[in-house]
Amino acid sequence: MRYEAIRGGFCVSADSARLDLDVIHSYLSRSYWAEGISREIVARSIRNSLCFGLYEGVQQIGFARVITDRTSFAYLCDVFVLETHQKQGLGTWLMECVMACPELQGLRRWLLATRDAQKLYEKVGFTPLTDPGRFMHVHRPGIYKSRESAT
Ligand SMILES: CC(C)(COP(=O)(O)OP(=O)(O)OC[C@H]1O[C@@H](n2cnc3c(N)ncnc32)[C@H](O)[C@@H]1OP(=O)(O)O)[C@@H](O)C(=O)NCCC(=O)NCCS
């Protein structure tokens, strides 16, 4: 039995078998961070991550993906709540559920990157980097918009 939390008619579940790839790909492919991403890449990323679906009844209305070794580190990404359900506290609840997942306790570090949703993540304990100079990255924005990676 995978981790699950229920509130009213809503559910957060870490059961990847419940995920609706159409909903996830449809959202991510028009998101500001993964515009143009293909269905196949979304499916592969889900297979290799710990993913959380947010559901109203059987309908998926939100998503969060955690790339992790389940021991020391986690990178939180691809978080969304469908426009029809935003600003009702569901994004906050989804984040609370992710952070409470038994498989993700005792990690040394969590990371994420966001353009404008800092307030959401501050609610569950994230802070700006205290020493950004210690971090380095390889960043390829727009990679999914190129034809070669669109398959
Ligand atoms: C960000 C998102 C998941 C929040 O979901 P939600 O269900 O609307 O969130 P909540 O109703 O729980 O609100 C959470 C808080 O975050 C803030 N917030 C939500 N979306 C925000 C945004 N796009 N920019 C800035 N602040 C935002 C809200 O002001 C709220 O704080 P408040 O209640 O103190 O005012 C949702 O708005 C979304 O899917 N946005 C588009 C995709 C996106 O930007 N994802 C995050 C990528 S890092």
**This prediction's pTM:** 0.94
Pocket test for ligand 1, best of 35, 63, 77, 87 (most atoms within 8 A of CB): 87
pLDDT tens-digit series, residues 94-106: 999 999 999 999 9
| CB of 88 sitting under 6 A from ligand 1 | yes
- Whether the Cβ atoms of residue 34 and residue 78 lie closer than 8 Å to each other: yes
Confidence of residue 1 (pLDDT cuts 50, 70, 90): confident
User: Cα(71)–Cα(109) distance, rounded to whole angstroms?
Assistant: 10
Can you give the pLDDT at residue 146?
73
User: Cα(49)–Cα(14) distance, rounded to whole angstroms?
Assistant: 10
pLDDT tens-digit series, residues 115-140: 999 999 999 999 999 999 999 999 99
Write the CB contacts of 27 (distance below 8 Å, at least 6 apart in sequence). 63, 80, 82
Can you give the pLDDT at residue 151?
43
pLDDT tens-digit series, residues 4-17: 999 999 999 999 99
Whether the predicted pLDDT of 150 surpasses 80: no
Torsions phi, psi of 122, nearest 5? -60, -30
